């Protein structure tokens, strides 16, 4: 299913008056406070977040999976779904593939489809956390960290194959997330598995094309419950440094123990020029895969405050690759992704409203109360009219969720694909 521009613009008409009023009110207020509204609109409109192929079907837990009707059953349908989200939101201009879940039969055809929907290929993701049916050596006791040479070599080769496939598609980065670790004390020698992982990553790094980046993702636990080889940003940062200048740390919001100060991690990595990629989601307890901004919106704003500071003040850090990494159980995945995109852009816009000059001054004067006021002033601004204007200016929907429901997109997808389709993935 493909949405055409006319369907979207004709639904926009009914809400324009209301939008104009609220936008004018906000723009006046912001201008009076010294903000450059046009500049903010441009930055917000340009902010694009990749959608992972595995977020388009319903996720599951080890207790079960409830399929969502009309799920994309093929890679083409996954790309079409991202195309739908992008047509409505104009903020999801890329798809991130996970191999081997998404191996295309015809790379050229897939590339053409993606281009026709105004999408790009974001990072390629390798998968050595599951055994595949035709696989010779198991990853049960680790992949890039494995003490079994055959498993380790197979995992290295898989990553190299993913890079080669990504080259055909026009991707420019590889994200490596490893489930490697141990579930019981004594199971692994910590130094041996770390050393093996470092050696393996270096071998993969050597095959990276000149204009590619390697993103090393970390996670404290799950699926292993005692130790994970790349457990935290420090380990990832160390490995990235051992690999070389094209290797970076990737921060996934769900991969931190409760109450970790993620904004401080972001600041540290950007100062060192090593924040390469970012996975958005939200969580209450662990890697919960919840909609971005649904649980801790203020934390997300504080994180964006550091991201904005880093993007403006750290030329040593490349522009990060943004991706939503969530796939949960009960909502329509496309609706969920549109809510996440809105929360991301909203936090970004609010962070752009932080009066950096006044904040520096208040920090210099140790006026702690004022520092907090400055942050809150930005956070409490209702930026929704700004997001609407940025979207509509780029040809998107004033209200993507409302338009999606009005146009009965899910019903049409079910009619087209059937009720009992199932997306590949977790």
Asked whether position 217 contacts ligand PSV by CB under 6 A, the answer is yes
Contact 117, 85 (CB under 8 A): no
Shortest Cβ distance from residue 330 to ligand PSV (Å)? 19
What are 327-330's contacts with CB under 8 Å, separation 24+? 327/52, 327/54, 327/55, 327/57, 327/58, 327/59, 327/289, 327/425, 327/426, 328/58, 328/59, 328/288, 328/289, 328/290, 328/291, 329/58, 329/59, 329/60, 329/61, 329/65, 329/66, 330/58, 330/66
Asked whether position 180 contacts ligand PSV by CB under 6 A, the answer is no
Asked whether position 279 contacts Mn ion by CB under 5 A, the answer is yes
Which residues, numbered 299-318, are part of the site for Mn ion (CB under 5 A)? none
Size of the site for Mn ion (CB under 5 A): 3
Here the tokens at position 8 are 């979207």
What's the distance, CA 274 to chain centroid? 17
Asked whether position 322 contacts ligand PSV by CB under 6 A, the answer is no
Contact 395, 90 (CB under 8 A): yes
Here the tokens at position 45 are 């409109």
With CB under 5 to 8 Å by kind, the binding choice for 342 among ligand PSV, Mn ion, none is none
Which phi and psi angles does 256 have, rounded to 5°? -140, 150
Asked whether position 299 contacts ligand PSV by CB under 6 A, the answer is no
How far, in Å, CA of 149 to CA of 153, rounded? 6
Query: Quick one: which segment of 25-33, 237-245, 271-279, 339-347 binds Mn ion (CB under 5 A)?
Result: 271-279
Asked whether position 282 contacts ligand PSV by CB under 6 A, the answer is no
User: Does the bond joining 11 to the residue before it have cis omega, within 30 degrees of 0?
Assistant: no
Asked whether position 252 contacts Mn ion by CB under 5 A, the answer is yes
Asked whether position 388 contacts ligand PSV by CB under 6 A, the answer is no
Asked whether position 252 contacts ligand PSV by CB under 6 A, the answer is yes
With CB under 5 to 8 Å by kind, the binding choice for 125 among ligand PSV, Mn ion, none is ligand PSV
| Residue with nearest beta carbon to ligand PSV | 177
How far, in Å, CA of 353 to CA of 225, rounded? 41
How far, in Å, CA of 88 to CA of 79, rounded? 14
Asked whether position 215 contacts ligand PSV by CB under 6 A, the answer is no
Q: Which is nearer to ligand PSV, 287 or 388 (CB)?
A: 287
Helix axes 384-393, 16-32, angle to 10 degrees: 110
Q: Which is nearer to Mn ion, 125 or 399 (CB)?
A: 125
Asked whether position 139 contacts ligand PSV by CB under 6 A, the answer is no
With CB under 5 to 8 Å by kind, the binding choice for 101 among ligand PSV, Mn ion, none is none
With CB under 5 to 8 Å by kind, the binding choice for 282 among Mn ion, ligand PSV, none is none
Size of the site for ligand PSV (CB under 6 A): 10
Shortest Cβ distance from residue 172 to Mn ion (Å)? 18
Taking CB under 6 A as the rule, which mask of x and - marks residues 80-119 in contact with ligand PSV?
----------------------------------------
Query: Quick one: which segment of 98-106, 143-151, 245-253, 371-379 binds Mn ion (CB under 5 A)?
Result: 245-253
How far, in Å, CA of 171 to CA of 165, rounded? 9
Shortest Cβ distance from residue 371 to Mn ion (Å)? 32
Q: What is the DSSP string of 255-319?
A: SS-TT--HHHHHHHHHHTT-EEEEEE-B-SSSS--BPTTSS-HHHHHHHHHHHHHHHHH-TTSPP
Interface residues with Mn ion (CB under 5 A)? 252, 279, 325
Interface residues with ligand PSV (CB under 6 A)? 54, 125, 177, 217, 219, 252, 279, 287, 325, 426
């Amino acid at each position: 299913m493909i949405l055409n521009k006319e369907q979207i613009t004709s639904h926009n008409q009914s809400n324009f008056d209301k939008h104009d009023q609220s936008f004018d009110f906000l723009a006046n207020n912001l201008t009076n406070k010294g903000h450059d509204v046009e500049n903010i609109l441009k930055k917000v409109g340009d902010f694009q977040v990749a959608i992972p192929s595995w977020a388009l079907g319903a996720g599951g837990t080890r207790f079960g999976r409830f399929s969502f009707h009309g799920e994309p059953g093929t890679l083409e349908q996954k790309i079409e779904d991202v195309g739908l989200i992008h047509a409505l939101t104009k903020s999801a201009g890329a798809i991130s593939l996970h191999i081997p879940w998404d191996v295309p039969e015809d790379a050229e055809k897939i590339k053409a489809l993606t281009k026709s929907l105004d999408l790009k290929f974001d990072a390629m993701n390798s998968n050595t956390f599951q055994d595949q049916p035709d696989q010779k050596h198991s990853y049960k006791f680790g992949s890039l960290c494995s003490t079994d040479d055959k498993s380790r070599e197979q995992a290295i080769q898989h990553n190299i194959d993913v890079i080669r496939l990504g080259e055909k598609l026009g991707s420019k980065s590889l994200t490596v997330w490893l489930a490697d670790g141990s579930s019981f004390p004594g199971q692994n020698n910590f130094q041996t598995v770390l050393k093996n992982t470092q050696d393996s990553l270096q071998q993969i790094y050597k095959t990276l094309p000149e204009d590619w980046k390697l993103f090393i993702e970390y996670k404290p636990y799950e699926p292993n419950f005692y130790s994970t080889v790349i457990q935290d940003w420090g380990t990832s940062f160390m490995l990235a440094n051992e690999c070389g200048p094209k290797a970076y740390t990737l921060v996934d919001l769900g991969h931190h123990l409760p109450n970790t100060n993620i904004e401080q991690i972001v600041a540290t990595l950007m100062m060192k020029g090593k924040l390469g990629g970012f996975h958005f989601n939200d969580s209450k307890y662990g890697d919960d895969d919840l909609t971005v901004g649904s649980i801790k919106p203020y934390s997300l704003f504080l994180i964006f405050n550091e991201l904005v500071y880093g993007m403006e003040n750290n030329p040593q850090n490349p522009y990060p690759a943004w991706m939503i990494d969530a796939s949960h159980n009960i909502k329509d995945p496309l609706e969920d992704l549109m809510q996440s995109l809105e929360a991301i852009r909203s936090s970004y816009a609010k962070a752009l409203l932080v009066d950096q000059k006044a904040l520096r001054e208040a920090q210099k004067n140790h006026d702690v109360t004022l520092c907090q006021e400055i942050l809150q002033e930005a956070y409490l601004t209702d930026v929704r009219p700004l997001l609407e204007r940025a979207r509509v200016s780029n040809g998107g929907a004033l209200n993507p969720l409302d338009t999606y429901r009005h146009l009965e997109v899910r019903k049409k997808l079910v009619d087209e694909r059937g009720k009992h389709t199932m997306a590949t993935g977790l």
